[in-house]
């Protein structure tokens, strides 16, 4: 196992120990249905990840004008994800739905995704 693969496993283990389950959902666009003369309804797709929900620090508010009051930082382990989260996804944590807003960061040294850091907004 390569060094960064081991780091990805370690990140997953740490987040498993100290984090919580997070549901990431996206809408898969429906295909054209000739019977209704248009696209079928979108299909929701979900995956469960492990993450840690954190508050932004004061210095982060000073350095980043895109952070709004109430925004949270969500760190998700990359290991074991079926698909990579993107800005159109929603995140459900403890029954509350959050939108992902820019920036979405990927910790990816040498091409191995270790974790994703998302800014989420209720």
Q: What are the tens digits of pLDDT across the range 24-78?
A: 999 999 888 888 888 889 999 999 999 999 999 888 877 767 889 899 999 999 9
Q: Which DSSP category does 5 fall into?
A: H
The label of the residue with tokens 């919580």 reads: 20
For 91, counting Cβ atoms within 10 Å of its Cβ (0-12 exposed, 13-18 middle, 19+ buried), the class is: buried
pTM for the predicted model, two decimal places: 0.85
Domain boundaries, the chain: 3-28+41-121
Nearest to 25 by CA among 108, 103, 120: 120
Secondary structure (DSSP) of 26-73: EEEPPPEETTTTEEPPPEEEEEEEEEEEEEPPHHHHHH-TT--TT-EE
Q: What are the tens digits of pLDDT across the range 2-14?
A: 888 888 888 889 8
Q: Do 57 and 34 contact (CB within 8 A), yes or no?
A: no
CA–CA dist 2, 40 (Å, integer): 44
3-28+41-121 is classed in which CATH architecture?
Answer: Beta Barrel (2.40)
Bridge partners of 117, per DSSP, are 75, 105
């Amino acid at each position: 196992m390569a060094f960064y693969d081991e780091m990805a496993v370690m990140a997953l283990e740490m987040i498993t120990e100290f984090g919580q389950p997070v549901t990431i959902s996206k809408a898969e666009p429906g295909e054209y249905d000739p019977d209704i003369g248009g696209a079928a309804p979108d299909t929701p797709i979900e995956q469960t990840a492990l993450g840690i929900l954190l508050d932004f620090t004061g210095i982060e508010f000073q350095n980043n004008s895109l952070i709004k009051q109430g925004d949270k930082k969500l760190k998700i382990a990359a290991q074991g994800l079926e698909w990579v989260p993107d800005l159109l996804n929603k995140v459900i944590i403890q029954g509350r739905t959050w939108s992902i807003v820019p920036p979405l960061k990927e910790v990816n040294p040498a091409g191995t995704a270790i974790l994703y850091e998302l800014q989420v907004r209720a």
